Amino acid sequence: MRIGHGWDMHRLEPRAPAGAGRRLVIGGVEFEHERGPVAHSDGDVLMHALTDALLGAIGAPDIGQLFPDHAPENDGRDSRDFLLEAARRVRDAGWQVVNADMTVVCERPKMGARKSEIVANLSHILGVPAADLNLKGKTHERVDAVGEGRAIEAHAVVLLVRA
Protein backbone atom coordinates (compact mmCIF):
# COMPACT_ATOMS: atom_id res chain seq x y z
CA MET A 1 0.00 0.00 0.00
CA ARG A 2 0.99 3.63 -0.43
CA ILE A 3 -0.42 6.73 1.21
CA GLY A 4 -0.27 10.23 -0.20
CA HIS A 5 -1.00 13.64 1.22
CA GLY A 6 -1.69 16.88 -0.64
CA TRP A 7 -2.30 20.41 0.53
CA ASP A 8 -2.98 23.60 -1.37
CA MET A 9 -3.96 27.18 -0.72
CA HIS A 10 -4.95 30.08 -2.92
CA ARG A 11 -5.43 33.72 -2.12
CA LEU A 12 -9.01 34.89 -2.79
CA GLU A 13 -9.45 38.32 -4.32
CA PRO A 14 -12.42 40.16 -5.77
CA ARG A 15 -13.27 38.81 -9.19
CA ALA A 16 -11.82 40.57 -12.23
CA PRO A 17 -11.95 43.37 -13.20
CA ALA A 18 -12.21 44.64 -9.58
CA GLY A 19 -9.35 42.36 -8.52
CA ALA A 20 -7.20 39.50 -9.74
CA GLY A 21 -9.62 36.73 -8.72
CA ARG A 22 -10.56 34.12 -11.30
CA ARG A 23 -13.86 32.20 -11.36
CA LEU A 24 -14.14 30.15 -8.17
CA VAL A 25 -13.95 26.50 -9.20
CA ILE A 26 -13.68 23.80 -6.52
CA GLY A 27 -13.33 20.19 -7.59
CA GLY A 28 -14.39 21.22 -11.08
CA VAL A 29 -17.62 22.81 -9.84
CA GLU A 30 -18.10 26.56 -10.23
CA PHE A 31 -19.41 28.57 -7.28
CA GLU A 32 -21.11 31.96 -7.40
CA HIS A 33 -18.89 34.03 -5.14
CA GLU A 34 -17.69 37.62 -5.14
CA ARG A 35 -14.09 36.48 -4.71
CA GLY A 36 -12.01 34.01 -6.65
CA PRO A 37 -8.55 32.47 -6.53
CA VAL A 38 -5.44 34.25 -7.66
CA ALA A 39 -3.65 31.58 -9.64
CA HIS A 40 -1.71 30.85 -12.79
CA SER A 41 -3.98 27.90 -13.64
CA ASP A 42 -7.74 27.96 -12.97
CA GLY A 43 -6.87 27.84 -9.25
CA ASP A 44 -8.92 24.77 -8.34
CA VAL A 45 -7.56 24.28 -4.83
CA LEU A 46 -9.18 20.89 -4.28
CA MET A 47 -7.94 19.39 -7.54
CA HIS A 48 -4.46 20.69 -6.77
CA ALA A 49 -4.44 19.06 -3.32
CA LEU A 50 -5.78 15.78 -4.70
CA THR A 51 -3.30 15.82 -7.59
CA ASP A 52 -0.41 16.30 -5.16
CA ALA A 53 -1.72 13.51 -2.91
CA LEU A 54 -1.74 11.08 -5.86
CA LEU A 55 1.69 12.19 -7.08
CA GLY A 56 3.07 12.04 -3.55
CA ALA A 57 1.80 8.51 -3.00
CA ILE A 58 3.86 7.22 -5.92
CA GLY A 59 6.87 9.42 -5.22
CA ALA A 60 6.40 11.40 -8.44
CA PRO A 61 7.40 15.05 -8.87
CA ASP A 62 4.82 17.43 -7.40
CA ILE A 63 2.24 19.48 -9.27
CA GLY A 64 4.45 22.57 -9.33
CA GLN A 65 7.30 20.61 -10.87
CA LEU A 66 5.11 18.95 -13.50
CA PHE A 67 3.10 22.06 -14.33
CA PRO A 68 5.25 25.13 -13.58
CA ASP A 69 3.35 28.32 -12.77
CA HIS A 70 5.53 30.29 -15.19
CA ALA A 71 4.73 28.08 -18.21
CA PRO A 72 2.46 29.88 -20.69
CA GLU A 73 0.57 26.65 -21.49
CA ASN A 74 -0.59 26.49 -17.85
CA ASP A 75 -2.09 29.99 -17.86
CA GLY A 76 -5.75 29.61 -16.92
CA ARG A 77 -5.41 25.87 -17.45
CA ASP A 78 -8.22 23.53 -16.38
CA SER A 79 -6.92 21.68 -13.32
CA ARG A 80 -8.68 18.58 -14.58
CA ASP A 81 -5.61 18.16 -16.81
CA PHE A 82 -3.36 17.99 -13.73
CA LEU A 83 -5.56 15.42 -12.02
CA LEU A 84 -5.81 13.29 -15.16
CA GLU A 85 -2.02 13.29 -15.49
CA ALA A 86 -1.59 12.26 -11.84
CA ALA A 87 -4.17 9.47 -12.27
CA ARG A 88 -2.36 8.28 -15.41
CA ARG A 89 0.94 8.16 -13.54
CA VAL A 90 -0.67 6.21 -10.69
CA ARG A 91 -2.02 3.64 -13.18
CA ASP A 92 1.24 3.45 -15.12
CA ALA A 93 3.14 2.80 -11.89
CA GLY A 94 0.85 -0.16 -11.21
CA TRP A 95 -1.27 1.30 -8.42
CA GLN A 96 -4.96 1.91 -7.95
CA VAL A 97 -6.85 4.24 -5.63
CA VAL A 98 -8.58 2.61 -2.63
CA ASN A 99 -10.04 5.83 -1.29
CA ALA A 100 -9.45 9.52 -0.89
CA ASP A 101 -10.48 11.76 1.96
CA MET A 102 -10.51 15.49 1.32
CA THR A 103 -11.24 18.69 3.20
CA VAL A 104 -11.91 22.15 1.77
CA VAL A 105 -11.40 24.96 4.27
CA CYS A 106 -13.04 28.33 3.61
CA GLU A 107 -15.44 30.65 5.34
CA ARG A 108 -17.66 30.88 2.27
CA PRO A 109 -19.07 29.51 0.07
CA LYS A 110 -20.46 26.49 1.88
CA MET A 111 -19.59 23.12 0.33
CA GLY A 112 -22.63 21.29 1.68
CA ALA A 113 -25.12 21.56 -1.16
CA ARG A 114 -22.49 20.97 -3.85
CA LYS A 115 -20.54 18.12 -2.23
CA SER A 116 -22.14 15.31 -4.20
CA GLU A 117 -21.64 17.23 -7.44
CA ILE A 118 -17.92 17.68 -6.66
CA VAL A 119 -17.49 14.04 -5.64
CA ALA A 120 -19.30 12.85 -8.79
CA ASN A 121 -17.00 15.00 -10.90
CA LEU A 122 -13.82 13.70 -9.24
CA SER A 123 -15.18 10.15 -9.45
CA HIS A 124 -15.67 10.56 -13.18
CA ILE A 125 -12.17 11.97 -13.72
CA LEU A 126 -10.38 9.38 -11.59
CA GLY A 127 -12.54 6.38 -12.45
CA VAL A 128 -12.95 5.74 -8.72
CA PRO A 129 -16.43 5.05 -7.28
CA ALA A 130 -17.98 8.09 -5.61
CA ALA A 131 -18.45 6.00 -2.45
CA ASP A 132 -14.66 5.87 -2.11
CA LEU A 133 -14.20 9.63 -2.35
CA ASN A 134 -15.08 11.64 0.72
CA LEU A 135 -15.30 15.40 0.94
CA LYS A 136 -15.63 17.56 4.02
CA GLY A 137 -16.19 21.29 4.22
CA LYS A 138 -14.82 23.23 7.18
CA THR A 139 -14.59 26.88 8.12
CA HIS A 140 -11.54 28.48 9.68
CA GLU A 141 -13.61 29.95 12.50
CA ARG A 142 -13.20 33.48 11.11
CA VAL A 143 -9.54 33.42 12.16
CA ASP A 144 -6.57 34.34 9.93
CA ALA A 145 -6.64 34.78 6.15
CA VAL A 146 -8.84 31.74 5.44
CA GLY A 147 -11.28 32.68 8.19
CA GLU A 148 -11.42 36.25 6.89
CA GLY A 149 -12.33 35.04 3.40
CA ARG A 150 -9.01 36.09 1.86
CA ALA A 151 -7.83 32.56 1.12
CA ILE A 152 -9.05 29.03 0.52
CA GLU A 153 -7.31 25.81 1.47
CA ALA A 154 -7.71 22.11 0.69
CA HIS A 155 -6.24 18.91 2.07
CA ALA A 156 -6.35 15.44 0.51
CA VAL A 157 -5.18 12.02 1.65
CA VAL A 158 -5.23 9.02 -0.69
CA LEU A 159 -4.58 5.35 -0.20
CA LEU A 160 -3.28 3.19 -3.07
CA VAL A 161 -2.92 -0.56 -3.48
CA ARG A 162 -1.23 -2.60 -6.19
CA ALA A 163 -3.56 -2.83 -9.19
The count of residues interacting with Mg ion (CB under 5 A) is: 2
CB of 1 to Mg ion, least distance (A): 27
52, 100 in Cβ contact below 8 A? Answer: no
Omega of the bond prior to 129 within 30 degrees of 0, cis?
A: no
- Closest-approach residue to Mg ion (CB): 48
**86 Cβ partners below 8 Å, 6+ apart?**
50, 51, 52, 54, 55, 60, 63
Specify the residue, 48 or 155, whose C-beta has the smaller distance to Mg ion.
48
Please choose, out of 4-12, 20-28, 116-124, 150-158, the segment that lies near Mg ion by the rule CB under 5 A.
4-12
DSSP string of 130-151, one letter each residue: GGGEEEEEE--TT-HHHHTTSE
CB of 45 to Mg ion, least distance (A): 6
Binding residue (CB under 5 A) for Mg ion from 22, 35, 48, 77: 48
Of 7, 160, 3, 5, give the one whose Cα is nearest residue 92.
160
7, 154 in Cβ contact below 8 A? Answer: yes
Binding residue (CB under 5 A) for Mg ion from 6, 8, 104, 151: 8
Please choose, out of 8-16, 50-58, 95-103, 134-142, the segment that lies near Mg ion by the rule CB under 5 A.
8-16
If one asks whether residue 42 binds Mg ion (CB under 5 A), the answer comes out as no
Question: Using CB under 5 A as the criterion, which residues of the chain lie in contact with Mg ion when the complex forms?
Answer: 8, 48
